[in-house]
Amino acid sequence: MIPTYYGCYSDRTTLFLRQYIAEEMGIFSLESIKSVFPEYFKDIRPEVEELTDAIIKRRSEKDIGDPNFENFQKYANLMKTVYGYYKEILKKKSALIEYENKLKKEDKEAEDKLKKKERRKLIGMILALIFVAIVSGIIGYFGRILISIFTSSP
């Protein structure tokens, strides 16, 4: 009875595992994954795709009338491999979260630094405008005094 059902369950299990892997890794930035878990894109992700294709191929080649325990074992081994990758991803998750938090902190610090720099520029411009206004006022005041001195008749 096992050979009749194993194909259906192994296909579903593999699809669920693929989905779980995608969900677990989907929350992280590419930078985090490449830095903390470079083997994911290099080895694991392509291997999961190949294993999924292999399971689908085995399923399509399966002869329902010929229940073969060897095929069942091959199915089970393929699923174990995908599950092993899923467990490996779960083990790396805390390091990925930590790295992601570090990146967010660095981004926030860089943003704060940029804002601080922009504020300094703005304050400098305001002070320069105030200085120009004061100097213009002084020049205008003394200019009127000079004009009144030179235009007054003795």
Blockwise average pLDDT, block size 10, the chain, 154 residues:
50 83 92 94 91 76 62 80 93 95 92 91 93 90 82 68
**Alpha carbons 8 and 6: distance in angstroms, whole number:** 6
Q: State if pTM tops 0.75.
A: no
What total number of domains does the chain contain? Answer: 1
Q: Does 136 map to a domain?
A: no
Instruction: For residue 108, give its domain range.
Output: 2-114
Cβ atoms of 17 and 83 within 8 Å: the answer is: yes
Place of tokens 């994954």: 33
Give the 3-state secondary structure percentages of the chain, helix then strand then coil, rounded to 5. Answer: 90, 0, 10
Q: Does 123 map to a domain?
A: no
**Alpha carbons 139 and 114: distance in angstroms, whole number:** 37
Q: Does 146 map to a domain?
A: no
pLDDT of the residue at 65: 53
Mean pLDDT score across all residues of the chain: 84
Q: Does 143 map to a domain?
A: no
pLDDT of the residue at 44: 93
pLDDT of the residue at 3: 46
Q: Does 120 map to a domain?
A: no
Helix ranges (DSSP H) in the chain: 2-26, 30-36, 39, 45-61, 69-151
Q: Does 79 map to a domain?
A: yes
User: Which residues neighbour 20 within 8 Å (Cβ) at sequence distance 6 or greater?
Assistant: 86
